[in-house]
């Protein structure tokens, strides 16, 4: 039995899936990478259905078919990627009522281009199961470990290869699979693969159409006169570009009165883009960045209230924020920059950008805020305005638990300063206020409204939290600061909102999301209208239209204000939705499609007479058992990826370690299943009990352990993570092959494989939506329920038709 081709094709399939996800993140928006997961699993599910319906014919022709598949996969992968890169899909037009219909056809074009590859890959894997039905555990082990190697390999390749050129690299293991074939078709398989490789690599390398779409932030500045790319960094975390053009400046909120104050605006800079999205400004001059504008900036108020402060700064903003805080008179600065590439630029520079100059009293750390508080006390804990969008895991710094930790780290009289952008929706500020209220209550403060001041410009809000409450003198100083700079106070203790309307500098009228109308009779402040109610825990008008539940470590979704139970209203307002909110709608669309596909995969083989023959009780059990395993496995994987991303302060490392670890250790569990096949029900029960016990322990102990070890060295946290992943993954690797070993009836094995794939399509969007609406703990709870269901539906049925009626496998690799 030669399973090396299976290993290589599984490796390439997962690598291709990852490479396509990266393509969408760079060329389009990362949210549309959900389609890739959907297409992958649809292809696998369809292959299982086709093989279930025509099992015997495929089995008889398996040697020739499997020998031809590597070359076919090379061509399908190359053609699929080429047509993906030439697809004119534009997400902005999808959100426009006048232009959305052609984009539906473009989405269908992605499916048409990519589905053939994943169907053929699924067919090779399904045939490997069918042809080696007496060694299912070993086949599944090679499939899983190959997938794990593919995930790890493509992530390693991203350090050297740009996202647009990953697919040509992944054609090599597909061609190599032909070299390991055995039997009479081996020579023809190798020659076909070599020819396919040569033509496909030439097409992809000489005519690579991948590029940034014109709606990406980098597109316009990249195409200005004399624009230059002065440095690039290729990384699994993203593809970074340092851009020099005349439009690049420090992106900070400066007073309209800066000229009257004798203060110049922000200086020119380089722009740092990740996957085409701008994440920071970088100094274009050697030495300390120019920070003369700092006193006119929105975020300067805390430093006016507390001179010579000891500061914890979350986000260095390419070094500019450190220079600003120093210019404002801070006595000591601890700057945290957990985004690894940004942190590396601060220390070592990149291209023409020099490292951040050493300054007395300034310490720079790569720790995230919850790990970087240290043992000292701070007068000001300040989150930079661009910190949230600099890295996906930075959203946890805005959670209730994080704010509680900041309050504990403050010295008497200290302040926490939290930024919120209101360029898209002012309601983000209200949701942040609800989070602040929850944190203050958790910290033992009974009257949150007395500890909060909110002030704003036309585009941004700052929320200041005073550990010991606000004095009249500090409130008066805040009023003067805002009046001098034409900023507006949206809330302070004792504020009369009605009287304040007479002196509004930046009109912010309330807008009804339901009606799509401005609701204002004059100068207004929509945040001031609701701030007191939110801070006091009373219902406010926005609660009826938006989700204002606090951000927590279990629900770390800052951009999740849409109420999905108002889907009709959301679709009517699609053209005004922020890009960050679109992901939830893509999830819903993929879920709806996935449910339809899962039902078809379930019913079509049953509708064809004689294809799935089994005692009724055994059939019903199996129909529940395999989907439950598919959903439960993916739920645990998604839960672990989220927790690992927070624990390691990096989504890329969290994703890579969890995915690779789970696949490899599950593969070991599957390999172990062959030794346990004599008592399958007993060992499935044991495996499920391990999974249930692990879920219970994770729900209770994982978050406290993570918080207690956040400041441990990276390798120590990595070791703990793998120790956490290993036991449950070994247990997760047992139920699927042990269940398959009991379902030897005609057509059932490939159908069970198809069911697993179809319900895996359902799992990803469903888990993401559960996490968004209820939290990741509920995802884990649902996984435990699903494995409990699998335990009581184990398909212990007699083999209605043995597999020995299939022609014996030849020496071809399967």
Highest average pLDDT, of 247-251, 402-406, 608-612, comes from 402-406
**Residue 193 belongs to some domain of the structure:** yes
Which of 488, 520, 555 is the endpoint of a domain? 555
Tell me the helices (H) and strands (E) count for the chain, helix number first.
30, 14
Residue 31 has pLDDT above 60, yes or no: yes
Looking at residue 411, its pLDDT comes to 96
Which comes out higher in pLDDT, residue 479 or 54? 479
In this structure, the answer to whether residues 122 and 204 fall within a common structural domain is yes
Residue appearing with tokens 């994987």: 637
**Residue 628 belongs to some domain of the structure:** yes
In this structure, the answer to whether residues 244 and 150 fall within a common structural domain is no
pLDDT tens, 304-326?
999 999 999 999 999 999 999 99
Residue 189 in contact with residue 71, Cβ under 8 Å?
yes
Which region among 33-47, 171-185, 477-491 has the lowest average model confidence (pLDDT)? 33-47
314 alpha carbon, distance to own chain's centre:
21
3-class SS of residue 562? strand
Looking at residue 615, its pLDDT comes to 47
3-state SS, one letter per residue, for 582-645? HHHHHHHHHHHHHHHHHHHHHHHHHHCCCCCCCCHHHHHHHHHHHHHHHHHHHHHHHHHHHHHH
| Section 793-806 average pLDDT | 53
In this structure, the answer to whether residues 607 and 708 fall within a common structural domain is yes
Looking at residue 515, its pLDDT comes to 67
| Section 387-392 average pLDDT | 91
Highest average pLDDT, of 601-605, 634-638, 743-747, comes from 634-638
Q: H or E stretch including 731?
A: helix 714-732
What's the rounded Cα separation, in Å, for the pair 196 and 210?
21
In this structure, the answer to whether residues 233 and 338 fall within a common structural domain is no
Residue 662 has pLDDT above 80, yes or no: yes
Looking at residue 224, its pLDDT comes to 92
What's the rounded Cα separation, in Å, for the pair 717 and 278?
30
Residue 246 in contact with residue 224, Cβ under 8 Å?
yes
Q: How many structural domains comprise the chain?
A: 3
Beta-strand pair 269-274/238-244: antiparallel
Residue span of the structural domain in which 507 resides: 294-555
Residue 459 has pLDDT above 50, yes or no: yes
Looking at residue 753, its pLDDT comes to 78
Q: How many residues does the chain have?
A: 814
Which region among 112-126, 158-172, 254-268 has the lowest average model confidence (pLDDT)? 254-268
Residue 798 has pLDDT above 80, yes or no: no
What's the rounded Cα separation, in Å, for the pair 779 and 639?
7
Residue 797 has pLDDT above 90, yes or no: no
Residue 530 has pLDDT above 50, yes or no: yes
In this structure, the answer to whether residues 263 and 400 fall within a common structural domain is no
Looking at residue 251, its pLDDT comes to 85
| Section 109-129 average pLDDT | 92
Residue 103 has pLDDT above 90, yes or no: no
In this structure, the answer to whether residues 427 and 374 fall within a common structural domain is yes
Residue 674 has pLDDT above 50, yes or no: yes
What's the rounded Cα separation, in Å, for the pair 414 and 380?
6
| Section 158-187 average pLDDT | 91
**Which tokens hold the place of 717?**
């946290």
Neighbour count for residue 219 (Cβ, 10 Å): 13
Residue 668 in contact with residue 733, Cβ under 8 Å?
yes
Among residues of the chain, what percentage have pLDDT more than 90? 56
Looking at residue 809, its pLDDT comes to 43
pLDDT tens, 141-168?
999 999 999 989 998 999 999 999 999 9
Q: Which DSSP letter does residue 357 get?
A: P
Looking at residue 483, its pLDDT comes to 94
**249-274 as b/e, with b when 16 or more CB fall inside 10 Å?**
ebbbbbbeebeeeebeebbbbbbbbb
Residue 458 has pLDDT above 60, yes or no: yes
What's the rounded Cα separation, in Å, for the pair 95 and 68?
43
Confidence of residue 270 (pLDDT cuts 50, 70, 90): very high
Residue 741 has pLDDT above 90, yes or no: no
**Residue 319 belongs to some domain of the structure:** yes
Confidence of residue 802 (pLDDT cuts 50, 70, 90): very low
Which region among 389-398, 531-540, 577-586 has the lowest average model confidence (pLDDT)? 577-586
Looking at residue 799, its pLDDT comes to 45
| Section 19-41 average pLDDT | 83
Over the chain, what is the mean pLDDT? 88
Residues with Cβ within 8 Å of residue 537, at least 6 apart in sequence: 437
- What is the gyration radius of the CA atoms in the chain, in angstroms? 29
Which region among 122-131, 393-402, 425-434, 690-699 has the lowest average model confidence (pLDDT)? 122-131
In this structure, the answer to whether residues 484 and 357 fall within a common structural domain is yes
In this structure, the answer to whether residues 520 and 611 fall within a common structural domain is no
Confidence of residue 794 (pLDDT cuts 50, 70, 90): confident
In this structure, the answer to whether residues 165 and 274 fall within a common structural domain is no
Confidence of residue 577 (pLDDT cuts 50, 70, 90): confident
**Residue 113 belongs to some domain of the structure:** yes
pLDDT tens, 276-299?
999 999 998 887 788 889 999 999
Confidence of residue 498 (pLDDT cuts 50, 70, 90): confident
Confidence of residue 618 (pLDDT cuts 50, 70, 90): low
What's the rounded Cα separation, in Å, for the pair 80 and 203?
12
**Residue 71 belongs to some domain of the structure:** yes
Task: Measure Cα distances from 355 to 284, 285, 342 in Å.
Answer: 11, 11, 11
**670-696 as b/e, with b when 16 or more CB fall inside 10 Å?**
bbbbbebbeebeebbeebbebbbebbe
Which comes out higher in pLDDT, residue 293 or 136? 293
Q: What is the CATH number of the domain that holds 171?
A: 1.20.1250.20
**Residue 812 belongs to some domain of the structure:** no
Which region among 207-216, 329-338, 641-650 has the lowest average model confidence (pLDDT)? 207-216
| Section 713-720 average pLDDT | 92
Which of 524, 555, 586 is the endpoint of a domain? 555
Looking at residue 294, its pLDDT comes to 93
Highest average pLDDT, of 236-240, 488-492, 513-517, 591-595, comes from 488-492
**Which tokens hold the place of 179?**
């070299």
Which comes out higher in pLDDT, residue 803 or 113? 113
In this structure, the answer to whether residues 174 and 265 fall within a common structural domain is no
Confidence of residue 561 (pLDDT cuts 50, 70, 90): very high
Strand partners, 363: 334
**Residue 549 belongs to some domain of the structure:** yes
| Section 483-505 average pLDDT | 91
Residue 812 has pLDDT above 70, yes or no: no
Residue 105 has pLDDT above 80, yes or no: yes
In this structure, the answer to whether residues 257 and 347 fall within a common structural domain is no
Confidence of residue 36 (pLDDT cuts 50, 70, 90): confident
In this structure, the answer to whether residues 648 and 782 fall within a common structural domain is yes
**Residue 511 belongs to some domain of the structure:** yes
Highest average pLDDT, of 257-271, 477-491, 658-672, comes from 477-491
């Amino acid at each position: 039995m030669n399973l090396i081709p299976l290993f290589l094709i599984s490796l390439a399939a997962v690598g291709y899936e990852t490479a396509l996800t990266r393509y969408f993140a760079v060329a389009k928006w990362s949210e549309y990478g959900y389609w890739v997961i959907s297409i992958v699993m649809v292809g696998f599910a369809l292959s299982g259905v086709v093989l279930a319906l025509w099992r015997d014919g495929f089995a008889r022709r398996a040697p020739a078919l499997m020998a031809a598949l590597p070359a076919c996969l090379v061509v399908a992968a190359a053609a699929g990627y080429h047509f993906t890169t030439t697809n004119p899909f534009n997400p902005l037009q999808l959100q426009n009522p006048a232009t959305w219909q052609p984009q539906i056809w473009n989405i269908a074009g992605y499916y048409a281009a990519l589905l053939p590859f994943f169907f053929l890959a699924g067919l090779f894997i399904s045939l490997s199961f069918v042809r080696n039905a007496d060694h299912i555990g070993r086949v599944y082990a090679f499939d899983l470990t190959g997938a794990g190697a593919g995930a790890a390999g493509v992530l390693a390749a991203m350090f050297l290869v740009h996202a647009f050129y990953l697919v040509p690299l992944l054609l090599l293991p597909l061609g190599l699979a032909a070299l390991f074939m055995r039997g009479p078709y081996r020579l023809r398989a190798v020659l076909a693969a070599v020819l396919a490789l040569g033509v496909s690599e030439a097409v992809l390398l000489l005519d690579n159409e991948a590029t940034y779409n014109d709606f990406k932030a980098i597109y316009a500045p990249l195409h200005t006169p004399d624009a230059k790319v002065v440095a690039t960094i290729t990384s699994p975390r993203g593809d970074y570009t340092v851009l020099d053009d005349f439009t690049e400046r420090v992106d900070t909120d400066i007073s309209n009165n800066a000229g009257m104050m004798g203060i110049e605006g922000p200086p020119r800079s380089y722009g740092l883009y990740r996957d085409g999205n701008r994440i920071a400004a970088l100094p274009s001059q050697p030495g300390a960045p120019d920070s003369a504008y700092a006193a006119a900036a929105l975020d300067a108020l805390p430093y006016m209230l507390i001179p010579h402060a000891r500061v914890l700064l979350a986000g260095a903003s390419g070094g500019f924020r450190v220079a600003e805080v120093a210019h404002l008179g801070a006595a000591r600065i601890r700057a945290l920059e957990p985004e690894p590439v940004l942190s590396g630029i601060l220390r070592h520079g990149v291209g023409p950008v020099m490292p951040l100059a050493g300054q007395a009293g300034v310490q720079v750390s790569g720790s995230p805020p919850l790990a970087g508080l240290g043992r000292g006390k701070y007068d000001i804990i300040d989150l930079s305005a661009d910190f949230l969008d600099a890295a996906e895991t930075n959203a946890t710094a805005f959670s209730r638990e994080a704010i509680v930790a900041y309050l504990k780290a403050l010295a008497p009289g200290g302040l926490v300063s939290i930024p919120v952008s209101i360029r898209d929706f002012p309601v983000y500020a209200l949701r942040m206020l609800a989070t602040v209220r929850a944190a203050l209550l958790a910290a033992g403060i009974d009257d949150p409204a007395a500890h909060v001041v909110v002030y704003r410009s036309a585009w941004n809000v700052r929320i200041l939290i005073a550990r010991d409450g606000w004095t009249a003198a500090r409130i008066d100083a805040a009023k003067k600061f805002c009046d001098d700079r034409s900023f507006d106070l949206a809330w302070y203790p004792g504020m009369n909102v009605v009287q304040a309307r007479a002196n509004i500098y930046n009109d912010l009228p309330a807008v009804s999301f339901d009606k799509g109308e401005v609701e204002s009779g004059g100068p207004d402040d929509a945040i001031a209208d609701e701030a007191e109610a939110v801070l006091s825990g009373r219902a406010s008008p926005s609660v009826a239209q938006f989700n204002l539940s606090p951000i927590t470590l279990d629900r770390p979704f800052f951009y999740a204000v849409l109420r999905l139970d108002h889907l009709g209203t959301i679709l009517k307002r699609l053209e005004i939705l922020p890009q960050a909110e679109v992901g939830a709608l893509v999830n819903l669309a993929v879920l709806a499609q996935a449910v339809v596909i899962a039902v078809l995969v379930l019913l079509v083989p049953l509708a064809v007479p004689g294809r799935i023959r089994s005692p009724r009780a055994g059939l019903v059990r199996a129909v529940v058992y395999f989907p439950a395993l598919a959903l439960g496995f993916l739920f645990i994987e998604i839960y672990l990826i989220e927790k690992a991303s927070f624990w390691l302060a990096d989504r890329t490392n969290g994703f890579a370690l969890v995915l690779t670890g789970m696949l490899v250790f599950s593969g070991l569990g599957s390999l172990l299943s062959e030794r346990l096949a004599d008592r399958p029900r007993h060992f499935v029960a044991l495996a499920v009990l391990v999974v249930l016990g692990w879920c219970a322990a994770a729900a209770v102990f994982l978050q406290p352990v993570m918080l207690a070890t956040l400041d441990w060295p990276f390798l120590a946290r990595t070791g703990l993570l793998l120790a956490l992943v290993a036991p449950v993954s070994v247990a997760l690797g047992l139920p699927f092959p042990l269940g398959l070993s009991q379902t030897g009836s005609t057509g059932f094995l490939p159908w069970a494989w198809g069911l697993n794939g179809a319900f895996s399509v359902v799992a990803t969007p469903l888990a993401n939506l559960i996490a968004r609406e209820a939290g990741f703990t509920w995802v884990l709870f649902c996984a435990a329920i699903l494995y409990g269901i699998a335990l009581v539906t184990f398909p212990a049925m007699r083999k209605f038709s043995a597999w020995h009626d299939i022609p014996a496998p030849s020496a071809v690799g399967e």
